[in-house]
């Protein structure tokens, strides 16, 4: 009987940990995407300014 209770509790705890891990990975992916979007937007703006300066000097 103890074994059955232990297995049931262990299964419930393992399922909760898998759910928490999935949420953590989701948050990590969202943060990485936000950083990439910020970098690309900044880089695009800087490149546009650079090409505008070059074309005006030509």
Q: Residues of the chain with pLDDT > 90: what percent?
A: 38
Sign for the pseudo-dihedral over CA of 37, 42, 46, 52: positive
Of residues 39 and 8, which shows the higher confidence score? Answer: 39
Q: What is the DSSP letter of 58?
A: -
pLDDT digits (tens, 9 = 90+) for 37-55: 999 999 988 888 899 999 9
pLDDT recorded at residue 24: 85
Tokens of 39: 């970098």
Residue 33 has a pLDDT of 96
Confidence check: pLDDT of 27 > 60? yes
Q: Which residue has the higher pLDDT, 22 or 3?
A: 22
């Amino acid at each position: 009987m103890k074994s059955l209770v232990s297995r049931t509790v262990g299964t419930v705890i393992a399922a909760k940990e898998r759910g928490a891990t999935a949420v953590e990975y989701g948050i990590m992916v969202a943060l990485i995407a936000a950083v990439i979007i910020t970098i690309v937007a900044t880089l695009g703006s800087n490149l546009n300014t650079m090409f505008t300066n070059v074309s005006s000097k030509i």
